[in-house]
Amino acid sequence: MPLFLAKLVPFREYAYAAAAIGLVIFYNVHVHNLEVHYAAAKVAAVNEAVKSASDKLLAAAAENVARLSAQYADNLKQVNDDHAKQLQADADTHAADLKRLRQLAQAAGNGGGGPALGGATAPGSPADSGGSSLIGLGYVSAELAAALHDARDDLGACYAERDSLTGK
């Protein structure tokens, strides 16, 4: 009976079917591995392209920052030089104004008043009728000029302090 049963069961067809199923499984696994490797290669290529573009952009941005920083430093140096020249010119003007006011005060005090300074015209009038008011105005002008000069110095110190705090 076992031999009879063996002839009834088609072993050869089962072996062929198992071999065909094995080949289909092998093919599917092989194709899947090829797809995985292909996708990994594409991802690596994209990552490399992104890294390359990112490096180029970062280098260009660093170059632009360096260029703008140098330009800002040059502009700041020019502005500071112009400001220093203006401060020196203001100080010179202030000194010249004070000198001129002192000369006017001395002329009014020593000359007894001439026609330009509004001196006495009548013989009975006092000798220094307008000189003292001119001297008083000269001192007020000198005080105002000194106050303006001090205000400019204070403003320059304020700007310098602001620049030091902001890092400019």
Mean pLDDT in the chain? 82
**pLDDT at position 119:** 43
CA distances from 148 to 3, 79, 92, 135 (A): 129, 22, 13, 20
Summarised one tens digit per residue, pLDDT across range 62-108 is 999 999 999 999 999 999 999 999 999 998 988 888 888 888 778 77
Q: What is the CA radius of gyration of the chain?
A: 50
The torsion angles phi and psi of 123, rounded to 5 degrees, stand at: -70, -25
DSSP-derived secondary structure letter, 9: S
d(CA 13, CA 9): 9
Looking at the predicted structure, is the pLDDT value of residue 122 above 90? Answer: no
Position with higher pLDDT, 75 vs 127: 75
d(CA 132, CA 134): 5
pTM recorded for the entire structure: 0.43
**pLDDT at position 121:** 44
Position with higher pLDDT, 23 vs 96: 23
